[in-house]
Amino acid sequence: MIVHQYTHASVEHPERNEDALLVLQNEGFAPVFAVIDGMGGHQHQLASGQLLTGHDASAFLAQALGEQLGSVPASIDGSPGGEAEKMVVEAIRVANERLYNDLNKGENLPISHRVGAVLTVGMLCENGQRLLCVQVGDTRAYLYSDEELIQLCYDEDNIEFMVSQGLLSAEDGARVTTVLNSYDGINPPKVDGNVVINGQPFELYIAWRWFIVGNSALGILPANIVLNALGIDPTSPAPQISRSEIGPQDSVFFCSDGLYKNMSDDEIASSLKSPYSAAESLGEAALKRSEDHNNQRRNPDDISILVVTF
Residue 82: per-residue pLDDT: 96
Beta strands, E only, the chain: 2-8, 19-24, 32-38, 44-45, 51-52, 117-125, 130-136, 140-145, 148-151, 194-197, 200-203, 240-245, 251-255, 303-309
Residue 112: per-residue pLDDT: 86
How far lies 148's CA from each of 144, 145, 224, 263, in Å?
A: 6, 5, 27, 16
Side-chain-side CA neighbours of residue 88 (13 Å): 34
Distance CA 109, CA 206 (A): 41
Q: Does 97 share its domain with 137?
A: yes
Residue 198: per-residue pLDDT: 93
Distance CA 204, CA 207 (A): 5
Q: Does 175 share its domain with 279?
A: no
Residue 5: per-residue pLDDT: 98
Host domain of residue 303: 2-155+227-309
CB of 71 closer than 8 Å to CB of 49: no
Residue 49: per-residue pLDDT: 84
Domain boundary pick from 201, 218, 235: 218
Q: Does 93 share its domain with 197?
A: no
Domain boundary pick from 166, 197, 218: 218
Domain boundary pick from 199, 218, 237: 218
Q: Does 33 share its domain with 125?
A: yes
Q: Does 22 share its domain with 48?
A: yes
Residue 140: per-residue pLDDT: 97
- Closest by CA position to 150, among listed 245, 225, 84, 224: 245
Residue 204 burial by Cβ neighbours in a 10 Å radius (0-12, 13-18, 19+): middle
Q: Does 253 share its domain with 305?
A: yes
Bridge partners (DSSP) listed for residue 242: 133
Q: Does 38 share its domain with 58?
A: yes
Q: What does the pLDDT profile of the chain (310 residues) look like in tens digits?
A: 999 999 999 999 999 999 999 999 999 999 999 999 999 778 888 888 888 999 999 999 999 999 999 999 999 999 999 999 999 999 999 999 999 999 998 778 888 899 999 999 999 999 999 999 999 999 999 999 999 999 999 999 999 999 999 999 999 999 999 999 999 989 888 899 999 999 999 999 999 999 998 999 998 998 888 889 999 999 999 999 999 999 999 999 999 999 999 999 999 999 999 999 999 999 999 999 999 999 988 999 999 999 999 9
Sign of the dihedral defined by the CA atoms of residues 70, 71, 73, 74, in that order: positive
Q: Residue 86 is which amino acid?
A: K
150 contacts: CB under 8 Å, gap ≥ 6: 142, 143, 144, 244
Residue 99: per-residue pLDDT: 96
Q: Does 206 share its domain with 290?
A: no
- Closest by CA position to 306, among listed 285, 286, 287, 283: 283
- Closest by CA position to 231, among listed 34, 43, 20: 43
CATH number of the domain residue 145 falls in:
3.60.40.10
Q: What is the pTM of this model?
A: 0.93
DSSP letter, residue 99: I
Q: Does 46 share its domain with 100?
A: yes
DSSP letter, residue 239: P
Number of domains, the chain = 2
Q: Does 182 share its domain with 38?
A: no
Residue 105: per-residue pLDDT: 85
Q: Does 214 share its domain with 231?
A: no
DSSP conformation letters of 180-191: HHH--SSS----
Residue 188: per-residue pLDDT: 85
Q: Does 122 share its domain with 185?
A: no
In degrees, rounded to 5, the angle at the alpha carbon of residue 14 between the alpha carbons of residues 9 and 18 is: 45
